[in-house]
Structure 1
């Protein structure tokens, strides 16, 4: 299920259009937790929750326990909510739920959290939930799609974010939606009057330097500015806990893949480049400039270099070399 479909389910829940079963599965736990909490809050009032909300845990329960709870009727409420957390711990027996799904009690709303795993789509349970309820497979969002996700999250609450500020967050937090959402909530409180998130605001309140970060490192590499790249390298290495070398290498790898993609495009209009690379139109010119400095042949060699240095950073084929020295060596070889 893609983000558009997930947002459609969320919209229905907010409009009080409920299904008897929600099976939430997959790697992206942010949406599993968010939808569970949303249903919990939209279906029952605080008073109704006292008698009509049941939480079970997979490691401490059986499918039979779950079905028994689902077959109870609500007390002084239209619905009862039954939440199975850690449902993946019942993976060997979860198919036994398929018969209940065929004939669910319509006054029960069952939410199954099935984190880091997915149902076998060939079997009855998956097909039955698809037919009589809602099944959502929450997949990790690729990092190049995170800026648009951040923009949309903020837009929903009438906030704006500077493109550079957005890139700072992505470079620092990766594609961990929970961490990103927590930081966005913090920033929204801080700038509740201006409704605008800037690089300065992030630097002051989250501790990410607006001048010395992976985003600025990539920009310096794209410009073949070795001096600037080495200064940023030293800063990142001095803050290794916040900027692990493997994360930096991963970011550089993705950056050169994007430049390679740009070279391969027939339609190089800013809007098309922005869409395919998953970057703000504001940054398209940076990729155009980088493509002038690095040919496809150059990029192929650089990608191979980054892979080699990733192995070295894990202790393979090198000894007694600091992360700072490794990154410096890599930057020199890339730019020269």
Structure 2
């Protein structure tokens, strides 16, 4: 599986397959990065749209568990209304119950239709149909989630596109504060662009101040409240996060990272090294590392072990029960700070 996965082309090279008068008949995009998949669909659509001569030749279908591949094939095989191409966007291919049958169309697609298909899944098995045929034909593209330095590089490039300067260090701080969700990161960049005036540089100080100004409740505030042992404030922030654009899975993920960082800080206390050296060894920005050191209430091995156990319990409840996310969050905070 790992060998197959390495060989699949990445969506970040999609422009190489969008040359004038030489478009692919199928662009099959899959992966966990829904943000990038959505952006790529729009990018492909914009590139091929001039080939469509009438609006009736633009179609978008969202598949569900009652949908069949025959719907896609029938639509793709019917002739265009105009004298140009047909563009069909298929969303949620993972919901189709007869996926292997799509292989026959992949092996002999029509020359007047361009299919853009999305599938939300971590991976595909290129030994099975229709992915085997899609892979062999060169129609398969993966949107894997960027992490670590690759996400930071993407963020630096995105900031440059918005005519702002963002250093690698500042990009690291922003991902540590906001998380790895590209949509949220892009939203923060837009807010920075609106607030910055004469200077276009996004510094660590600006990141903290503007994140606080533009979003009263953020994950950084929650970490700070927990680090001080403030139960009421933690609940207030968490409820507002859940009422906004965050879900419980994201909160658990970020708090798990926070607890792991605090454990690392305790481990590094025994070494006679500076905060900058300790941050480097922990693979964190000095700014984030220094902020975590202020979490005096939780900087205790027993409390951190209790917090780690509480996060694991919350994760299990979230995945195995239908309990309300706020109830799970309330229990989580009580177990961490009790």
Instruction: Check whether TM > 0.5.
Output: yes
Partner of 1:202: 211
Partner of 1:226: none
Partner of 1:241: 239
Q: How far did 1:254 drift?
A: 1.6
Gap runs ≥5 in structure 1: 222-228, 316-320
Q: How far did 1:35 drift?
A: 1.2
Mark the CA change 1:158 to 1:6 in structure 2 (over 3 Å): closer, same or farther. farther
Mark the CA change 1:171 to 1:281 in structure 2 (over 3 Å): closer, same or farther. closer
Encode CA deviations 1:289-332: one digit per residue, 9 max, x unaligned.
99xx97999966763465468789999xxxxx99789747735x
Partner of 1:213: 221
Encode CA deviations 1:47-69: one digit per residue, 9 max, x unaligned.
73625322233347542332233
Matched, 1:177 2:178: no
Of 54, 74, 83, the match for 2:89: 83
Partner of 1:129: 134
Encode CA deviations 1:73-99: one digit per residue, 9 max, x unaligned.
66444x432211232232x21211101
1:261-280 correspondence runs (5 A): 277=283, 279-280=284-285
CA distance in 2, matches of 1:311, 1:69: 43
Q: How far did 1:8 drift?
A: 3.3
Q: Secondary structure at the match of 2:126?
A: coil
Q: How far did 1:136 drift?
A: 2.9
Verify the 8 A CA contact 1:146 1:170 in the aligned structure 2. no
Verify the 8 A CA contact 2:31 2:142 in the aligned structure 1. yes
Mark the CA change 1:52 to 1:137 in structure 2 (over 3 Å): closer, same or farther. same
Q: How far did 1:253 drift?
A: 2.3
Q: How far did 1:135 drift?
A: 1.8
CA distance in 2, matches of 1:93, 1:322: 37
Mark the CA change 1:136 to 1:322 in structure 2 (over 3 Å): closer, same or farther. closer
Matched, 1:20 2:19: no
CA distance in 1, matches of 2:240, 2:152: 20
**What root-mean-square deviation, in Å, do the aligned CA atoms of Structure 1 and Structure 2 show?**
5.0
Mark the CA change 1:110 to 1:14 in structure 2 (over 3 Å): closer, same or farther. closer
Mark the CA change 1:99 to 1:152 in structure 2 (over 3 Å): closer, same or farther. same
Mark the CA change 1:171 to 1:200 in structure 2 (over 3 Å): closer, same or farther. closer
Of 20, 37, 46, the match for 2:42: 37
Matched, 1:257 2:260: yes
Mark the CA change 1:307 to 1:66 in structure 2 (over 3 Å): closer, same or farther. closer
Mark the CA change 1:214 to 1:14 in structure 2 (over 3 Å): closer, same or farther. farther
CA distance in 1, matches of 2:63, 2:328: 45
Q: Secondary structure at the match of 1:195?
A: coil
Q: Give the alignment's TM-score, normalised by structure 2.
A: 0.65
Verify the 8 A CA contact 1:309 1:330 in the aligned structure 2. no
Mark the CA change 1:250 to 1:50 in structure 2 (over 3 Å): closer, same or farther. closer
Mark the CA change 1:309 to 1:54 in structure 2 (over 3 Å): closer, same or farther. closer
Partner of 1:103: 108
Encode CA deviations 1:175-195: one digit per residue, 9 max, x unaligned.
443344344345435547643
Q: How far did 1:129 drift?
A: 0.5
